[in-house]
Structure 1
Amino acid sequence: MTFSIVGRCQQTGQLGIAVSSSSIAVGARCAWVRAGVGAVATQNVTLPALGVQILDLLGAGQHTPAAARDHALNADNWSQYRQVTVVDSQGRTAFFTGKEALGTHHAVAGAQCVAAGNMLAGAHVIEAMVQAFEKASGMLADRLLSTMQAGLAAGGEAGPVHSAALKVVGDVVWPIVDLRVDWADEDPIGQLDALWKAYRPQMHDYLTRALNPSAAPSYGVPGDE
């Protein structure tokens, strides 16, 4: 019911995830990122706690992505229902798909990225996503979204998708990009891309507002924060 990409930008060190699903509000359950630590997708029959647990273990600095994945999954009595992907702040990766994963499922690690999905139109969808991420240029958010579009073009899920999310972290502790389409009857990935295109020109202004308000632009918008 879900396909996703976790990735790291080698130039900036940014970490992020893009994910889409036939279920509502996929970004609320499946997308986990932490600045300077890593990005985790936890999907299929989702246990959101796995994302937090894996990031905590990575953040402690004593686990590789594979070791953090295994530690978290070993504590889960239902791990064979899970699908998990991880990339850390060094670009190291890990993934897992349990034997109870739904439908056609696949996961592939590429250069500082992992793509994975279940209930897919075919395993080739994930192969296409990794190739797209590795070939893409620009900001990490752009690369993640172009990867999702490549997955969709390759067939995506076996059925229609209804929600999508994009989350990216950089040098500050909060996400610099955190956008979601929680439900759409048509093309949530396209709607998410449109949200990103609207947000991208303002992203650095909002960072400036937070870090140096005296230098921040004023939009003069009612309710402006």
Structure 2
Amino acid sequence: MTVRVMLVSPALGEAQRQVRFDGGESVDAGALRQTRAVAAAVRAEVVRADIVRTDTVRADAAPAATRCYYGASARCRETAVALGLEAARAPELGDLDVGSWRGRTLDEVTEAEPRAVADWLADPASAPHGGESLHALIARVGAWLDGRSAETGRITAVVEPAVIRAALVHALGLPAAVFWRLDVAPLSVTELSGRAGRWNLRCGRPLGSGLSEGARRQ
């Protein structure tokens, strides 16, 4: 038996539209409407067809065969709620910690600290903002992923794009520099199946597309 890990990217917030390092902002109203529009189809695949959407996230309600989590950011939690997933908060799946850059736009940081930004983008071990390096993020997310490889069934996690990129780099044994070349669209699903050292990838697809086909394969 293998485990299937479904990584769901959250809906957009204002920080993402402004290309700003997330400062804890919420998902905007339009993105929430888009999320709710696909909620029923998502629940039919990742949890159970008869789950009723609630406005709170409960950590103890998902059935044993389907575990649901969300990363430690406002928009991950709000996306999980909008999808009707009864999920547990997973701090180890939090976004990349960018330290002093949090809440600032990339243009602002680049103008103020051009050398620091250049070093950050070129060196995965660099953390000029005083937060977390890419290497540290990949190791953290990789440890969580490998910890799931002894499980069976389905795991769904609503997590930031950086966490999905880190999971892919780890699972596929890619060089850390590839992290910046992986694009993760909002409200898409990236699936990993298998176990530590033998992960298979199904690349991201929009939420609500191909779900019935995925359910039939189970």
Q: Do both proteins adopt the same fold according to a TM-score greater than 0.5, normalized to the shorter chain?
A: no
Q: Which has the higher strand share?
A: 1
Q: Which has the higher helix share?
A: 2
TM-score (norm 2): 0.31
TM-score (norm 1): 0.31
RCO greater where, 1 or 2, for CA within 8 Å and sep 6 or more? 2
